[in-house]
A = this chain, B = another copy of it.
Amino acid sequence: MTHVYDDPAAFKDDVLVGFAAAYPTYVQRVPEASGFVRAGGPLEGKVSLVLGGGSGHYPSYSGTVGTGFADGAVLGDLFASPSAEQVYRVCRAAHGGAGLVMGFGNYAGDRLNFKVAADRLEAEGIDVRIVWVTDDIASASADEQAKRRGIAGTFTVYKVAGAAAEAGLDLDGVERVMAKANAATYSFGVAFDGCTMPGAGEPLFHVEPGQMDFGLGIHGEPGITSDAWMPAPALAARLVDTVLAERPADADGRAAVLVNGLGATKYEELFVLFAHVAPLLEKAGVTLVQPEVGELVTSLDMAGCSLSVTWLDDELEELWTAPADTPAYRRGTPVTSDRFTERREVTRETTQSAVAEASEESRRAAEVARRAVAALSATVEEHKDELGRLDAVAGDGDHGIGMSRGAKAATEAADTAAEAGAGVRSLLAAAGSAFGDKAGGTSGILWGLLLDGVGQQLGDEDAVTDEAAAHAVQASTTRLQEFSKASLGDKTMLDALFPFVDALVGAVDGGTPLAQAWRDAATTATEAAQATASLTPKIGRARPLAERSVGTPDPGAISLALIVTAIGDVLADGPSSPA
């Protein structure tokens, strides 16, 4: 279990501080961000590879920042995606002017946050490509390879992409080889026991003593079979057979092979396993190219290991065996890049968007938006405990706390933007980003997107009419649904948001003034939120918990209704009245 920590809530931050202190010649912290770029800053003209995900998987991701590998790494809390804001900041700092490739394992939270950051970077004129890794055979069938999650094979895919960028491939080229490496990578793992979070008395999950769980995810996601303990030769055969069963027809036999330990399964054990894996692979006609045996993708002190095979062609072999020089992984003749020599300085400003020019009209609208955000925050604060109690029925009870953290940060960001003369688009972008960054969780990123989306529709130039405001909320809601993949009736905030938007747009289009239409629509939202009590959430694995929530309204829908009601009061004050 995890024994060394101070404040468990600050564990990730302490790790960042210690890592930066240990490797100053390799990395530098990105100012005010949860991540690193190469020491000295990004290389001018080189495609930048930014890797990220939850903390707890060292040396993923920070341990591989360096020549021939990653340009930046962004870390979320333990096993939690970094926020879009953090991804954005690290990417800004890591960008060398030739475009960005983002790499992460296929998990919903990472996909959401990296996508939001990518959209924002694209809007600022940076070309961004996203490749998420899907190597885990156990997590979906061969027909649905794209749905597989990323485990230890992420290492090989990232390594190939980093080498491609170092070799001078352009953005299309790096994206292409990274996608090719991902399609050629197959992993299968086994777990013996779970890991313990800092401050927790018990592991996150357990494997039954004397059992091995095949295909168990690195955060406790269910496995596919549980078996009695078996000796190393049988374990090796099971791993090899499963991975080779998906050998592509066009693979010529060359392969990058990785036997990875998750944390508590030690080097000696990994060598014992490899002693049996290597001859089985060779017997099956596999040529092992620079195999790796070690702890390259961990999960705190989880007990378990995996076999990853990446089928190589000439191009992938050259990239896999290319030199790399990073804190945790060094191979070949370590070189500093000779292709790229100019570096960009990373300053506090690098990671922030400049405040865009705004019209007088847009600044007036921004003042309304600022007061709306402040009202949002005051309402959340007032109802924090109630929202927590609602969330405790079917969730972890942190909805109120998360919303409160996000709303406070959004208010501060909105105030700062207003002082800098921001228009309504820039103000809501800043508020939305801060919300998503500090609130955490799904509610955080969704509220952040909603605020940002309204701003994007309104812009920094145009005067904001009643129709424009109503339609901006509608467009942002539609975008939100696309991102969240939720449907009406899934017992989420959308079950209150959609009735609200329909009522709002209908009334405004019919000629009702915005303030009146908003207050009426807020009443509709409140009724719809209460009605979610009869729904059952579609949240997959947590079925028993989900069923417990029948009879209780959804906390996300309730907070939405409370917030739109509070914003209605702001609008009733009129755009030009004092705050």
A residues near B (Cβ < 8 Å) are 1-7, 11, 14-19, 21-22, 55-56, 58-59, 63, 192, 212, 229, 231-233, 235, 263-276, 278, 291-293, 295, 298, 300-301, 303, 305, 330, 332-334
Contact = CB atoms under 8 A, between A and B. Distances in A.
A231 B291 contact: no
A275 B21 contact: yes
Contacts of A16: 271
Contacts of A275: 14-15, 17-18, 21
Contacts of A330: 330, 334
A203 B232 CA distance: 20
A266 B268 contact: no
A211 to B, nearest CB: 10
Contact of A298 (B6, B263, B267, B332): B267
A293 B305 CA distance: 23
Contacts of A268: 2, 11, 15, 55-56, 58, 300
A4 B58 contact: no
A286 to B, nearest CB: 13
12 contacts: A3-B192, A3-B229, A5-B231, A5-B232, A5-B272, A6-B272, A14-B271, A15-B268, A18-B275, A18-B278, A19-B271, A22-B293
Contacts of A300: 266, 268
Quick one: which of A63, A298, A303 has the most chain B CB within 10 A? Answer: A303
Contacts of A17: 271, 275
Contact of A266 (B19, B271, B274, B301): B301
Given A1-B303, A333-B333, 18 more contacts: A2-B268, A3-B192, A4-B235, A4-B269, A11-B272, A15-B271, A16-B271, A18-B275, A18-B276, A22-B271, A22-B291, A22-B293, A58-B266, A59-B267, A264-B264, A330-B334, A333-B334, A334-B334
Of all A-B residue pairs in the complex, the 4 with the closest CB atoms, nearest first, are A18-B271, A18-B275, A4-B269, A17-B275
A308 to B, nearest CB: 14
A251 to B, nearest CB: 21
Contact of A14 (B11, B18, B272, B293): B272
Given A192-B3, A293-B22, A330-B334, A264 B267 contact: no
Given A4-B272, A334-B333, A14 B232 contact: yes
Given A22-B271, A267-B58, A272-B11, A4 B334 contact: no
A370 to B, nearest CB: 37
Quick one: which of A55, A275, A276 has the most chain B CB within 10 A? Answer: A275
B274 A18 contact: yes
Contacts of A63: 267
Nearest to A2: B269
Given A192-B3, A263-B266, A333-B334, A273 B18 contact: yes
Contacts of A55: 268
Contacts of A273: 4, 18
Contacts of A229: 3
Nearest to A234: B6
Nearest to A59: B267
Contacts of A301: 264-266, 303
A250 B269 CA distance: 43
A7 B59 CA distance: 31
Quick one: which of A3, A22, A235 has the most chain B CB within 10 A? Answer: A3
Contact of A3 (B11, B59, B269): B269
Given A58-B266, A334-B333, A303 B271 contact: no
A59 B268 CA distance: 9
A261 to B, nearest CB: 9
A295 B266 CA distance: 10
Contact of A293 (B2, B3, B18, B278): B18
Nearest to A329: B330
A14 B278 CA distance: 12
Contacts of A269: 2-5
A323 to B, nearest CB: 9
Contacts of A298: 266-267
Given A272-B11, A333-B334, A266 B2 contact: yes
A305 B16 CA distance: 19
Quick one: which of A2, A7, A267, A333 has the most chain B CB within 10 A? Answer: A267
A71 to B, nearest CB: 21
A19 B267 CA distance: 9
